Amino acid sequence: MEQQTSHSTIDNPLREGLSLERLPSPCAMVIFGASGDLTRRKLMPALYDLALEGLLPPGFSVIGFARSAKTNDEFRSEVRESIRQFARRTPIDEGLLRNFEEGISYISGDFSSLDDYNRLSEELDRLDRERNTRGNRVYYLATPPVAYAEIAGNLSHQNLVHSLNDERWTRLIVEKPFGHDFNSAKELNETLLQYLAEEQIYRIDHYLGKETVQNMLAFRFANGIFEPIWNRTFIDHVQITVAESIGIENRGGYYDQAGALRDMVQNHMLQLMSLVSMEPPPAFDADSVQDEKVKALRSIRPIKPDEVDHVTVRGQYAEGWVMGNPYPSYRDESRVDPQSVTETFVALKLFIDNWRWAGVPFYLRTGKHLPRRVSEIAIQFHKAPHPPFETSVTESLEPNVLAIRIQPDEGITLKTNAKVPGPSMRLRSVNMGFLYGTSFLVESPDAYERLLLDCMLGDSTLFPRRDGIEASWEPITQILEGWERSGISTLPMYPAGTWGPDEADDFMARDGRLWRQP
Ligand SMILES: NC(=O)c1ccc[n+]([C@@H]2O[C@H](COP(=O)([O-])OP(=O)(O)OC[C@H]3O[C@@H](n4cnc5c(N)ncnc54)[C@H](OP(=O)(O)O)[C@@H]3O)[C@@H](O)[C@H]2O)c1
């Protein structure tokens, strides 16, 4: 059913990074929450960039749906501004932008009002007639999470969801956070599944749209040399770091309820961990990949409430400086409880209880207002068993580390030991590196471009499945329950601009290890 594109990929090398030579069938996208921040900063710019690369189907149309009153023209002008500000490729192609805008309209409505869904239905019918969108729909829930179930239910009641047997397709993209613990995630899954089939639900985790994350699968499974050593026999431990230099920005209301564990670990970091640790899938299709990821997540060793304090460290930022700018403490941020014990930093140690990983710790750490923005996965190998050098030489020997850098400077480095040139045997560690930016003369697409396109193509490989979401909430919920029981009134503090509280270093030191300084 998907059509071949008329553009050649040779004419446009940028397309190399996206799904080659596939074009979605005609469709309309409805963005619920179209006056919000995500639509402005990410969704509209990503759609424009897809249009620029010739990857949108003919007649592609977007209906923005939100509460604020606006005319079509006002919404289009806001979209134009957001594209000018945030599109990946500049300068803006004004002719293309005008064409893109012709397909954009806006409905001012409330998520709870059935009348407003009737107006939406009329607008979709108009697009089918006038722009030949053929009854195919993507619904994007860029809304507060409380609205997800209500919108899905109302779409279904107003006959805006086609069944899987219909030749017209319906797909629903659901943003994060997906639930706030295991039970709420399960309940949300059950509710959505009353209205749509699993194949129609795309739970987005934008980390999975990043090139380096997908490259990890290529790296592991397209090369013969890594998989044989990808196990407990050769690997000492794994460190996954997602450090942010920004604070909570204007999201105090949301963040104070969520915290770093829910905001970053449950989704992005456990997804990364499952990709590092999963068994090779028999094929690179959605179910084969999800099956292996879910098996890895389900093998995470359960954490008992009285163990939680031994396997986690929490922290909260105090006032400090990040990259030359002063910042207030977390408790002084707007819409944050001045007595808050919400963690802005968390470090944890998890084990995967299976043959490949038995006894190998996975250390995860994330935080706000750390010294810089960096995400990486570091695989640290065992030290060489018997280096035949004098003790003075071997003391400085460092273990080999394979570091997969997700952002910024996407690439992979392998730390090895080498001889320093000169008459004596002196060793020093050096890096062998591959950088995306220099190895491929194409710019990586934004994660949202990739994921929006995959959804339109009906490819859910990069979207977590129901069982994956629930499996990732299990250890997180065990930790949350353990923290709840401990009933502490304050958290270890770290000055903004440092790598977390001292307790995080002590946590590693107890295991005889050190955090990397990426
Ligand atoms: N922003 C990001 O970078 C980001 C990143 C990752 C995930 N997310 C997730 O994406 C979702 C949206 O985030 P956001 O930052 O864009 O939120 P936001 O700026 O607060 O926007 C919320 C949108 O929902 C609309 N809305 C809320 N209640 C409504 C109702 N009853 N009827 C109709 N419209 C209603 C708002 O319309 P009005 O303003 O017109 O009332 C607005 O368009 C959230 O789930 C968030 O967690 C956001």
Report whether the peptide linkage leading into residue 338 is cis, meaning its omega lies within 30 degrees of zero: no
- Same-domain pairing of 94 and 28: yes
Ligand 1 pocket member 333 (CB < 6 A): no
Residue 12 has a pLDDT of 40
- Same-domain pairing of 256 and 164: no
100 lies in some domain: yes
Ligand 1 pocket member 110 (CB < 6 A): yes
For the CA atoms of 115, 120, 124, 129, what is the dihedral angle to 10 degrees? 60
Ligand 1 pocket member 143 (CB < 6 A): yes
Record the tokens describing residue 236, joined without a space.
């000492």
Distance, in Å, from the CA atom of 198 to the CA atom of 152, rounded to the nearest integer, reads 13
Atom of ligand 1 nearest to the CA of 35: 43
List the beta strands (DSSP E) in 189-344. Answer: 201-203, 235-243, 312-318, 320-322, 325-327
47 lies in some domain: yes
CA distance to 12, 88, 451, per residue, from 46 (Å): 17, 8, 10
230-236: Cβ within 8 A, 24+ apart = 230/356, 230/379, 231/356, 231/357, 232/356, 232/357, 232/358, 232/359, 232/360, 234/381, 234/382, 235/360, 235/379, 235/380, 235/381, 235/382, 236/360, 236/380, 236/381, 236/382, 236/383, 236/399
Distance, in Å, from the CA atom of 141 to the CA atom of 175, rounded to the nearest integer, reads 6
Q: What's at 186, amino acid-wise?
A: K
Contact indicator for 342, 518 with CB cutoff of 8 Å? no
Candidate of 42, 74, 114, 143 to mutate for ligand 1, largest count of ligand atoms within 8 Å of Cβ: 143
- Same-domain pairing of 355 and 229: yes
Distance in Å, CA 124 to ligand 1 centroid: 22
Candidate of 30, 35, 38, 63 to mutate for ligand 1, largest count of ligand atoms within 8 Å of Cβ: 38
186 lies in some domain: no
Residue 21 has a pLDDT of 58
Distance, in Å, from the CA atom of 495 to the CA atom of 513, rounded to the nearest integer, reads 23
- Same-domain pairing of 261 and 316: yes
- Same-domain pairing of 103 and 149: yes
- Same-domain pairing of 146 and 225: no
408 lies in some domain: no
Q: Which of 268, 310, 382, 386 is catalytic?
A: 268
Distance in Å, CA 395 to ligand 1 centroid: 54
Ligand 1 pocket member 482 (CB < 6 A): no
Atom of ligand 1 nearest to the CA of 34: 43
Which range marks the domain in which residue 278 is found?
Answer: 208-385+466-509
> What is this structure's pTM?
0.93
Distance in Å, CA 72 to ligand 1 centroid: 19
Atom of ligand 1 nearest to the CA of 254: 47
CATH number, residue 60: 3.40.50.720
17 lies in some domain: yes
147 lies in some domain: yes
3-class secondary-structure state, position 407: strand
- Same-domain pairing of 28 and 155: yes
Contact indicator for 220, 284 with CB cutoff of 8 Å? no
442 lies in some domain: no
- Same-domain pairing of 21 and 153: yes
Atom of ligand 1 nearest to the CA of 177: 47
Contact indicator for 131, 448 with CB cutoff of 8 Å? no
Secondary structure element (H or E) that encloses residue 417, with its range: strand 411-419
- Smallest CA-to-CA distance from 449 within 141, 210, 120, 96 is with 210
For 441, phi then psi, to 5°, come to: -85, 40
Distance in Å, CA 144 to ligand 1 centroid: 5
- Smallest CA-to-CA distance from 59 within 125, 137, 127, 160 is with 127
Distance in Å, CA 141 to ligand 1 centroid: 8
506-509: Cβ within 8 A, 24+ apart = 507/313, 507/347, 507/349, 508/363
Atom of ligand 1 nearest to the CA of 145: 45
**Domains contained in the chain, number:** 2
User: 175, 198, 227 — which closes off a domain?
Assistant: 175
426 lies in some domain: no
Ligand 1 pocket member 66 (CB < 6 A): yes
Ligand 1 pocket member 176 (CB < 6 A): yes
Q: Whose Cα sits closest to atom 6 in ligand 1?
A: 176
- Same-domain pairing of 320 and 247: yes
Residue 132 has a pLDDT of 97
Active site residue 268: yes
Ligand 1 pocket member 150 (CB < 6 A): no
Q: Whose Cα sits closest to atom 45 in ligand 1?
A: 144
Distance in Å, CA 407 to ligand 1 centroid: 26
Contact indicator for 444, 410 with CB cutoff of 8 Å? yes
- Same-domain pairing of 217 and 164: no
H helix count then E strand count, the chain: 17, 17
Distance in Å, CA 17 to ligand 1 centroid: 29
User: 160, 175, 190 — which closes off a domain?
Assistant: 175
User: 175, 199, 232 — which closes off a domain?
Assistant: 175
Contact indicator for 319, 498 with CB cutoff of 8 Å? no
- Smallest CA-to-CA distance from 398 within 411, 410, 409, 414 is with 414
- Same-domain pairing of 55 and 142: yes
Contact indicator for 401, 380 with CB cutoff of 8 Å? yes
Secondary structure element (H or E) that encloses residue 289, with its range: helix 286-298
Distance, in Å, from the CA atom of 172 to the CA atom of 138, rounded to the nearest integer, reads 6
CATH number, residue 366: 3.30.360.10
Candidate of 39, 67, 205 to mutate for ligand 1, largest count of ligand atoms within 8 Å of Cβ: 67
Q: Whose Cα sits closest to atom 17 in ligand 1?
A: 36
Residue 518 has a pLDDT of 80
Would you give per-residue pLDDT tens digits along the chain (518 residues)? Answer: 344 333 333 334 344 444 455 799 999 999 999 999 999 999 999 999 999 999 999 999 999 999 999 999 999 999 999 999 999 988 999 999 999 999 999 999 999 999 999 999 999 999 999 999 999 999 999 999 999 999 999 999 999 999 999 999 999 999 999 999 999 999 999 999 999 999 999 999 999 998 888 888 999 999 999 999 999 999 999 999 999 999 999 899 999 999 999 999 999 999 999 999 999 999 989 999 999 999 999 999 999 999 999 999 999 999 999 999 999 999 999 999 999 999 999 999 999 999 999 999 999 999 999 999 999 999 999 998 888 888 777 777 889 999 999 988 889 999 999 988 999 888 888 999 988 888 887 788 899 999 999 999 999 999 999 999 999 999 999 999 999 998 888 899 999 999 999 999 999 999 999 999 88
- Same-domain pairing of 148 and 29: yes
Distance in Å, CA 314 to ligand 1 centroid: 28
Q: Whose Cα sits closest to atom 18 in ligand 1?
A: 36
Distance in Å, CA 101 to ligand 1 centroid: 22
Neighbour count for residue 394 (Cβ, 10 Å): 15
